Chain A
Amino acid sequence: MIQKKVCIFGASAVGKTSLVNRYVAGIFNDKYLTSIGVKIDKKIVKLNDNNVQLMLWDIEGIDRYSGFNRKFIRGASVAIVVVDQSRIQSFQDGLEITRMLKQEQEIPVILVINKSDLPPADAWHSILENESPSLFEAQLQTSAKQNTGVDNLFFDVAKISLNHT
């Protein structure tokens, strides 16, 4: 079976772990427990002609306590950058991470706007429009909490990963 490595990046507490837990185990927890290091989960996505096994690298939030480790994206087919729409700063962090990723290697980056169940921060939409140009291969809305857009996200990830070796 085809295996694809997918890296999940983003600032702390945007919902990276929650998205993986929702997708892989069908669970969600309201309590925030910060991740340390990396955890890898696997799940098979059934596409029309292929089954793809995604290896989801849930990577510790990138902030002043934990930097960007370039070696993680080695061999990855897709990178997911998660942002939290209730927090503008998380988007700015996401943009920065994306730039670092692009500098490191040519790789499709998917922007995931999580917590769509919460009201967006003031000025969120205008900032998003102004600053999120062609950097991203795709842009999706999700709520790990309400389970909206999550399956969709990983389905798209699987499709995009097939186009990229």
Chain B
Amino acid sequence: MLASLLQELNILDCAVMVKNQDNSYRAIHSNTTWFSAIFPRGLNGEVTPENNNSVYLTDFLYDANKFWTSNLDGRINSGIWSEQTSVGLWRLEASAITQDDKKYLVIINLENEYNIRQSTLQLARELLISNDKVLEQHELIYKRIESLTYNLSNKIDLHSPIKELMEHCEFGIAMIDANMQPLAQNPALFHIFDIRENDSIAPIDIILDLCHRQFPEFQRVLNTQKKWNSEIYWIKPDTVSRWLHITICPVKDINTKLTYWLLLVTDISRVKYLQQSNEKLTYFDVMTDLPNRQFFWQSLENAMTRNSSLFVLQINIKHIKRINEAYGYAAGDEVIKTVVARLKPIIGEQSILARLGGNEFAIILYKSNEEECELVAKRLINAACEPINIINQNTCKIGLSIGASHYQNDVISAQELMRNADLAAFFGRDKKNQSIHFYSEALRLQSLRRIELEAALRVAIEDKQFELFLQPIYDLQSGNVIKAEALIRWNKPNQGLILPDEFIPIAEQTGLIVAIGQWVIKESIKLLEILHKQNIPITLSVNLSPIQIRDQQLLGIITNSVTKSEIDVASFLELELTEGVLVDDFETVQVFLTAVRKLGITIAIDDFGTGYSSLSYLQKLPIDHLKIDRSFIQELSIGHNQNAIVLAILAMAKSLNLGVIAEGVENETQQEFLRQNSCQSAQGYLFSRPLSFKQFINASDHWSTENKRPFSTLLNKENSE
């Protein structure tokens, strides 16, 4: 019995005790020095673990007794501990075991294992700490330079405090303009590369070249203006080679336009070589025990020479950042480990799953066609998306975005293959439904277009290529125009008018919406002033995007513009928010709306009825109008069902004392229904399309004379001209 047990445990320097019925123990294997130092023996050779000399062991016996009482077969461990005895320092671990109705207490000397773990973790921790320090320093300098830049006017003055800071910084710093041309490079940077300031090649050339060659995602990082950091390897043949930690950060102005790039470079060769002396650390990620980036590259290159067809999958775990922020990094790490444990069995033994860094993973998958690949991806996504338990009985959900590229005996490099997979993953990142995206020429063109559009939008903001169109809103009783909704159009050079559906989503994703929104407010106020001077005293209604509500400057801008104006603009300005905003971010919205309302501005809820049915917030927020979504109005003439919804909204608005505006009114039947049921106002093609400001002013001439439906006919004429 004992022999087999010990064999199974694969240890000999241990002590084994059997628990008797009467709670005493019998030592059946205990001829070790440390054992007698911990357990004083009774006269008959019996041991009494309850009276042992080890505080840690006593503590473990609580757990052990609980476990034995449960009568379940199995084993629990105490975790390793160090015990100082009269005869030396020992590294021990205790286990409570139940097997075939017998209960054992086993203590094992883990000296060897302790030493192995210590030497591995020693390095890992030294690396972790030095990495922390590098990141901390980079972040700090970035913040400082960014704030110094912010206070400068447009021009970067290199004799400023920035220059001072760069001169004295102990690691390398470079500033590069949007076209990747160097603006400044500090002495430390020249020093790293062993270059003199007037040499023909500059450090920055070397770095950019290395980044492009060693990181497939680098061009995308530049295109999308993201912050990024990584480690690169530089070698100067026959002389030196260095490992460098690189951070690249965009420094932007208030319009989120890139002022310049900041490049921070620290020499980390010492720790890197230390790390490489330990093979486990060189090729494996210590947290997940998966192969790391280096290992993956090697495997990929080998696989491409050996196989004629394979897929590379690039996987990003989504929402990890959110989990880190909400529950801390330890929780985020646990989530990553859980996901890895779920993915591993799915991809099987042959394929390679590696952790490239952070929340990025990659797989080499030996499948012959996209369909098979898609099946695997589906299983990966399903497994990963099951809820995950985290601290304190909370659960969370993550998502996967998967990009894939296919290798088929092409003349394509491993780098290109990875770059394509990365692009495909990036493409799928913002998509709601999760699936795998395969790299294709079409996808490349599409993402190019997106990147181009983003760049063009930045120019548009600067060159003021936007224009506000106005769509009149009618009072259904009097037939007078009482309001107009301001709708943005983009006059893209050589392309004509672009509708908001096409560019607002991109503006929202990139944060450009903030600058655009600020322009819309200012422009609306300008138009209001002109209208009123021309005796057209109507209200302008302006759309706000959810992201704008969180723009700290917005309230200031509104207040400023409103108070600066000669006329009482506030009383003629209305802000439109969608239902979703109210629910998502109730407190921010409440503070914002209350402040805006104080100025005299009114509030309307856009697309009403499409979102959330909880109406309690309508009472809690200072709201003036509801705009019934066009989808309900369009159905008005056909079904009774939709009529009921519109009637319900009207009744509710009445009881809450809110005004109602119907959107998308297109025919007489709809107008008649709304009028009969006391809907106050309406907009839609029946009355007028959105008009340019000039058209709007012209049209206004007809309003006083021809009240009812003044210029839909007129407009059609204008358009066909």
| Bound pair (A, B) | yes
Question: Is B125 in contact with A63, judged by CB distance below 8 angstroms?
Answer: yes
CB distance from B65 to the nearest CB of A (A): 14
* Interface size, A (range): 35 or more
Which B residues touch A42, using CB under 8 A?
Answer: 55
* Choice from A12, A41, A103 contacting B128 with Cβ under 8 Å: A12
Given A63-B125, A64-B128, A123-B140; A38-B81 close (CB under 8 Å)? yes
Q: Are B132 and A87 in contact (CB under 8 A)?
A: yes
Task: Tell me, in angstroms, the Cα distance from A122 to B124 when the chains sit together.
Answer: 25
State how many angstroms separate the Cβ of A98 from the closest Cβ of chain B.
11
- Can you list, as one digit per residue, whether each of B284-301 has a CB less than 8 Å from chain A (1) or not (0)? 001100000000000000
A85-133 CB contacts (< 8 Å) to partner B: 87-89, 93, 96, 99-100, 103, 121-123
Any chain B CB within 8 A of the CB of A39? yes
A41 surroundings in chain B (CB, below 8 A): 84
- The stretch of B2-10, B115-123, B517-525 in contact with A is B115-123
Chain A residues whose CB sits within 8 angstroms of the CB of B63 once the complex forms: 71
Contact B136 A36 (CB under 8 A): no
- A69 to B63 CA separation, bound complex (whole angstroms): 14
Q: How far is the CA of A151 from the CA of B80 in the complex (A)?
A: 29
Does A34 lie within 8 Å of B122, measured CB to CB? yes
Contact: B136 with A37, CB < 8 Å? Answer: no
8 Å CB contact of A38 from B79, B118, B287: B79
Q: Are B122 and A69 in contact, with the CB atoms below 8 A?
A: no
Contact for A87 among B84, B136, B286, B391, CB less than 8 A? B136
User: Is there an interface contact between B56 and A64, defined as CB atoms closer than 8 Å?
Assistant: no
Contact assessment for B122 and A103 in the assembled complex, using a CB-CB cutoff below 8 Å: no
Mask: chain B, 96-121; 1 = CB below 8 Å from A; 0 = not: 00000000000000000010011001
Selecting from B329-337, B468-476, B499-507, the interface stretch reads B329-337
Neighbouring A residues of B334 by C-beta, 8 Å: 67
User: B330–A36 contact, CB under 8 A?
Assistant: no
- Chain A's closest residue to B123 (CB) is A34
B550 at interface, CB cutoff 8 A: no
- A65 contacts B330, C-beta separation under 8 Å: no
Chain B residues numbered 135-155 whose CB sits less than 8 Å from any CB in chain A: 136, 140
For the residues of B in contact with A, the DSSP-based class is helix
Knowing A36-B121, A65-B287 are in contact, say whether A87-B82 is a contact too (CB < 8 A).
no
Q: Mark A15-36, 1 if CB is under 8 A from B, else 0.
A: 0000000000000000011101
* Chain A CB within 8 A of B444 CB: no
Contact between A89 and B132, CB atoms less than 8 A apart: yes
A87 near B59: Cβ-Cβ < 8 Å: no
Q: Does A160 contact B (CB under 8 A)?
A: no
Q: Does A138 contact B (CB under 8 A)?
A: no
CB neighbours (8 Å) of A89 from chain B are 132, 136
Task: Output the nearest chain B residue to A55 by Cβ-Cβ distance.
Answer: B55
- Within the complex, the shortest CB–CB distance from A124 to chain B, in Å, comes to 11
| Chain A nearest Cβ from B127, distance in angstroms | 11
Q: Is the CB of A37 within 8 A of B124?
A: no
Contacts of B118 in A (CB 8 A): 33-34, 36
Residues on A with beta carbons closer than 8 Å to the beta carbon of B121 = 34, 36, 65-66
CB distance from A154 to the nearest CB of B (A): 17
The distance from the CB of A16 to the nearest CB of chain B, in whole angstroms, is 13
User: Judging by beta carbons under 8 Å apart, are B81 and A69 in contact?
Assistant: no
Asked if A69 and B128 sit within 8 Å, CB to CB, the answer is no
State the Cβ distance, A56 to closest chain B Cβ, in Å. 10
Whether B330 contacts A67 by the Cβ 8 Å rule is yes
Is the C-beta of B319 less than 8 angstroms from some C-beta in chain A? no
Is A45 located at the chain interface by the 8 A CB criterion?
Answer: no
Partner-B contacts on A (CB < 8 A):
12-13, 32-34, 36-42, 55, 61-69, 71, 74-75, 87-89, 93, 96, 99-100, 103, 121-123
Question: Can you offer 18 A-B residue contacts whose CB atoms are under 8 A?
Answer: A13-B129, A32-B126, A33-B118, A33-B122, A36-B82, A39-B81, A40-B56, A42-B55, A55-B55, A61-B125, A65-B287, A69-B79, A87-B132, A87-B133, A88-B136, A99-B328, A121-B136, A123-B140
9 closest A-B pairs by CB: A37-B80, A39-B82, A96-B328, A89-B132, A12-B125, A38-B81, A34-B122, A37-B81, A40-B55
Q: A34-B125, A36-B80, A39-B82 are known contacts; what are 11 more A-B pairs with Cβ within 8 Å?
A: A12-B125, A12-B128, A36-B114, A36-B117, A37-B80, A37-B82, A63-B128, A64-B286, A64-B333, A89-B132, A93-B329
* Chain B residues within 8 Å of A, Cβ to Cβ: 55-56, 59, 62-63, 79-82, 84, 91, 114, 117-118, 121-122, 124-126, 128-129, 132-133, 136, 140, 286-287, 328-330, 333-334, 391-392
